[in-house]
Amino acid sequence: MGVSDRPRIGISSCLLGERVRWDGGHKRDSPIVEGLGARVEWMPVCPEVEIGLGTPREPIELRVLNGRATMITVESRRDLTEPMARFARTKIEALAAAGISGYVLKSKSPSCDPDRGLFAQALRERLPDLPIEHEEQLHDPDLQTSFVARARAYRDTHHV
């Protein structure tokens, strides 16, 4: 299988072992990196770093304020909701233009958690048919194979 045959998959950078987490660490996920790495072309993204937050950095939490999800730094209480929303719009358009065919999200992340993360929500809204999984789901080799097949099908129907 040549590089051009591999679907382009967005992934939370920390899952590939990049030291981008708030504490300066990573969350390298060997089952995903080793199980999927040869079958896909990774497109790593770390929303927090890409909106200009350093590593290490102050932790961030999600809160519901006035009925809407808000991303706030834990100590200084800096509201990062709008910078994240602007980043998400721009980055998701760039990923779509680059031919993204799937995405692996980092659970429990304020930006990438599949249920609550602000980047993940924007990704689902903009690309509702995109195959999206979080890292824990993809530890099963059969689910990895299914995910790659869905990503190829997405690529074949959405990208020329």
Residue type, 57: R
For position 5, what pLDDT does the model report? 85
% of the chain beyond a pLDDT of 90: 87
**Residue in the block written with tokens 């990049």:** 18
> Phi/psi at 69 (nearest 5 deg)?
-65, 135
For position 60, what pLDDT does the model report? 94
Instruction: Using pLDDT thresholds of 50, 70 and 90, give the confidence band for residue 64.
Output: confident
For position 47, what pLDDT does the model report? 96
Q: Average model confidence (pLDDT) for the chain?
A: 93
Instruction: Using pLDDT thresholds of 50, 70 and 90, give the confidence band for residue 48.
Output: very high
